[in-house]
């Protein structure tokens, strides 16, 4: 009973600290202290699964795989709002509402979040289901992924209704989105276009552990149900804060009650100026009739409620002169055209450069040097050119001819079929590619080498001391001391940092060597699956794509990387320098080997195990988990609500279907 009590204490403490951190932005303990509490809870739940809670904070890390998202009917239709771009239409909306109701009403004004709409139902204080908008009448069940978002409570506090739904918007904080794009560029992937599309794509990922790593956030702003505490929209939203939700607050002016159209315009004007101070994107203001009875009386059109309207801000743009188009070379050789602009103020910052994306975009917009161009700033790392003022084009203007050679090494550029970007194929001799790969190798998420930064890499390369990352481990103190700004202490720190990096785990080295499309998460999955570099080097295409989240493109890239002799030589040199080329030996937690040689697919909802517990039990007894059914699968462990397609495929392939009770008998054989 002491264990059960301690688990309950830890769950309560972690929920409280999670709420303070993500919803109130007022943490009372350090990240380290939070992590230690979480670690203790995870260890206790693992040792005593009978006391584990399905809505424990430990479930936030994800891990469940959803192959197909079930489509479910909304209890309350999830309609879109009518949009307006001018104030006359808002005045007409107010007049129409007053005429239909025969009286003046209070309105609630709130931000129009530019994210992904979500409806989350709760029953007896616990999260039950989360649905996307879909077509308004039906949406996709993405509950598993939504549970990983830390600002969404799994269990409620206070005096909440027994059953209700709360709606809101899931989004990428701009600071998180920027870091995500920087990481993608580091791993040779294209930057994501904007936070909204990225959030939408993330929520449809099959692996909830990846969703958890993406650090999505959510504001919940509309409560529906039969037994709500108040008859007004604003009052219920503010009450939901007490239940544990991250909802817009009156105190922060994220939501406000307005008694007339002038107060509505004041709220619109305030956020038109201050919206760029937010760490998320909004594209307007939503105005709703506050009283529920009045909402019911006004009703709906076929597409939208009559009691609400959205006022959308014009996308902020600035017009300025494009002085020159230059070209940047990335770590993977990708060429990015950049517009060098006359400095212009946009969204609170001075913009001097903007992305032109690729040759197709330049041709599509007919962008030329000397043009007056429209520049837009969203969630991108740098702004983008979205249009040209053709009326102001100089008479002597000539069309842009995209570069055919690398701006750094003059190698002929290539364009891979199906890709928008051009590439410099001179991987081994193009200076910016070499330096960028080394900068990636020493970066914090890779080898994290103290005493080494991008400027030092530049200096070492220019001095002819390093031509690839393996040369770093052959640096000598006396040759480093001859360089500018390299005193005794800085040289000592650099060499000690290199020595210390030899203890960096294998999965980070694998990320650091810079295989295209192998980002941090993919590197972890590869390292965990194959255990060492030799196994990855020898893996076939079929073996690679059998790993969770490894698709055709990643598998092909890995094979191509290890077909190159110079890459093999690089790996050998790093190995000789003493870097870790295999996963650390883990303590053997096997219970038995009775399932050795057997492969299992787990599908559905279970009563005796969670899915994670069931998968662990398979591995603890020598078996192997696989994500999908094939002719090589031995057993399908079927729970409630298992998809009919999976059952049909198992039957077609002759895969034995067993229950969790039958599985337990197998482990005791």
DSSP 493-513: HHHHHHHHGGGS-HHHHHHHT
Q: 444 is written with which tokens?
A: 């914090």
Tell me the H-state helices in 23-106. Answer: 31-47, 87-101
- Non-local (6+) Cβ contacts of 483 within 8 A are 459, 460, 463
Which of left, alpha, beta for 124 (phi over 0: left; psi -120 to 50: alpha)?
A: left
Q: Give the separation between CA 334 and CA 413, rounded to whole angstroms.
A: 9
Which of left, alpha, beta for 122 (phi over 0: left; psi -120 to 50: alpha)?
A: beta
Contact status, residue 109 vs residue 125, Cβ threshold 8 Å: no
Cα Rg of the chain (Å, integer): 28
Contact status, residue 154 vs residue 165, Cβ threshold 8 Å: no
SS (H, E, C) 394-419: CCCCCCCCCCCECCCCCCECEECCCC
In order of 510, 526, 600, the CA distances from 583 in angstroms are 11, 10, 24
Q: Give the separation between CA 414 and CA 404, rounded to whole angstroms.
A: 8
**Among 5, 68, 112, 138, which one carries the catalytic annotation?**
112
DSSP 231-262: SBHHHHHHHHHHHT-----TTTTSEEEESSHH
Contact status, residue 536 vs residue 558, Cβ threshold 8 Å: yes
Q: 668 is written with which tokens?
A: 């005791």
**Beta-strand pair 335-346/255-258:** unpaired
Contact status, residue 548 vs residue 615, Cβ threshold 8 Å: no
Q: Give the separation between CA 27 and CA 19, rounded to whole angstroms.
A: 9
Is 112 known to be catalytic?
A: yes
Which of left, alpha, beta for 259 (phi over 0: left; psi -120 to 50: alpha)?
A: alpha
Which of 117, 132, 111 is closest to 279 using CA atoms?
111
Tell me, what DSSP letter sits at residue 516?
T
SS (H, E, C) 582-651: ECCCCCCCCCCCCCCCCEEEEECECCCCCHHHHHHHHHHCCCEECCCCCCCCCEEEECECCCHHHHHHHH
Q: Give the separation between CA 255 and CA 588, rounded to whole angstroms.
A: 54
Q: Give the separation between CA 166 and CA 124, rounded to whole angstroms.
A: 14
Report the catalytic residues.
112
């Amino acid at each position: 009973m002491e264990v059960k009590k301690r688990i309950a204490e830890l769950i309560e403490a972690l929920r409280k600290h999670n709420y303070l951190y993500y919803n109130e932005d007022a943490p009372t303990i350090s990240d380290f202290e939070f992590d230690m509490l979480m670690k203790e809870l995870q260890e206790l739940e693992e040792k005593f699964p009978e006391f584990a809670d399905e809505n424990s904070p430990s479930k936030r890390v994800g891990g469940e795989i959803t192959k197909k998202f079930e489509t479910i009917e909304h209890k309350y239709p999830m309609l879109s709002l009518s949009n307006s771009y001018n104030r006359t239409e808002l005045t007409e909306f107010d007049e129409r509402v007053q005429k239909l109701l025969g009286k003046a009403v209070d309105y609630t004004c709130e931000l129009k979040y530019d994210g992904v709409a979500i409806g989350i139902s709760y029953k007896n204080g616990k999260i039950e289901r989360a649905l996307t908008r879909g077509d308004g009448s039906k949406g996709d069940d993405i509950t598993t992924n939504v549970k990983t978002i830390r600002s969404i409570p799994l269990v409620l506090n206070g005096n909440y209704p027994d059953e209700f739904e709360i709606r809101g918007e899931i989004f990428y904080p701009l600071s998180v989105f920027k870091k995500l794009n920087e990481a993608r560029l580091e791993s040779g992937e294209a930057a994501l276009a904007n936070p909204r599309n990225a959030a939408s794509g993330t929520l449809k990922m099959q692996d909830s552990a990846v969703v958890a790593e993406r650090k999505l956030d959510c504001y919940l702003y509309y409560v529906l149900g039969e037994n709500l505490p108040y008859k007004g929209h604003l009052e219920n939203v503010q009450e939901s804060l007490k239940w544990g939700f991250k909802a817009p607050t009156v105190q922060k002016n994220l939501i406000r009650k307005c008694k007339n159209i002038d107060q509505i315009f004041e709220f619109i004007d305030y956020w038109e100026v201050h919206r760029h101070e937010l760490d998320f994107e909004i594209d307007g203001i939503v105005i709703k009739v506050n009283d529920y009875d009045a909402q019911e009386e006004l009703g709906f059109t076929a597409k939208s409620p009559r009691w609400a309207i959205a006022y959308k801000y014009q996308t902020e743009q600035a017009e300025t002169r494009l002085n020159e188009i230059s070209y940047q070379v990335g770590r993977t050789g990708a060429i990015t055209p950049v517009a060098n602009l006359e400095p212009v103020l946009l969204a609170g910052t001075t913009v001097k450069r903007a992305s032109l994306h690729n040759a197709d975009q330049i041709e599509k917009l007919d962008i030329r040097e000397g043009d007056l161009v429209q520049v837009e700033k969203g969630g991108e790392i740098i702004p983008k050119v979205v249009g040209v003022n053709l009326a102001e084009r100089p008479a002597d203007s000539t069309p842009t001819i995209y570069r055919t050679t690398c701006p750094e090494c003059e190698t002929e550029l290539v364009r891979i079929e199906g890709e928008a970007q051009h590439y410099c194929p001179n991987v081994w001799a193009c200076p910016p590619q070499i330096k960028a790969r080394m900068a990636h190798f020493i970066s914090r998420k890779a080898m994290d080498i103290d005493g080494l930064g991008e400027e030092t890499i530049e200096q070492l390369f220019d001095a002819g001391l390093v031509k690839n990352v393996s040369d770093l481990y052959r640096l000598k103190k006396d040759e480093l001391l001859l360089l500018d700004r390299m005193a005794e202490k800085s040289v000592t720190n650099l060499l000690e940092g290199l020595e210390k990096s030899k203890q960096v785990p294998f999965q980070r080295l694998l990320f650091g060597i810079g295989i295209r499309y192998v980002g941090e998460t993919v590197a972890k999955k590869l390292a965990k699956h194959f255990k060492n570099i030799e196994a990855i080097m020898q893996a076939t295409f079929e073996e690679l794509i059998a790993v969770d989240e490894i698709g055709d493109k990643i598998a092909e890239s890995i094979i191509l990387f290890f077909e190159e002799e110079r890459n093999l030589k690089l790996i050998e040199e790093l190995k000789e320098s003493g870097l870790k080329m295999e996963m650390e030996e883990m303590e053997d937690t096997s219970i038995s080997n009775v399932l050795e040689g057997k492969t299992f697919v787990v599908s559905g909802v279970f009563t005796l195990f969670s899915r994670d517990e069931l998968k662990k039990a398979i591995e603890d007894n020598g078996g192997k988990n696989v994500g999908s059914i094939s002719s090589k699968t031995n057993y399908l462990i079927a729970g409630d609500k298992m998809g009919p397609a999976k059952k049909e495929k198992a039957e077609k392939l002759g895969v034995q279907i067993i229950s969790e009770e039958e599985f337990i008998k197998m482990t005791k054989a």
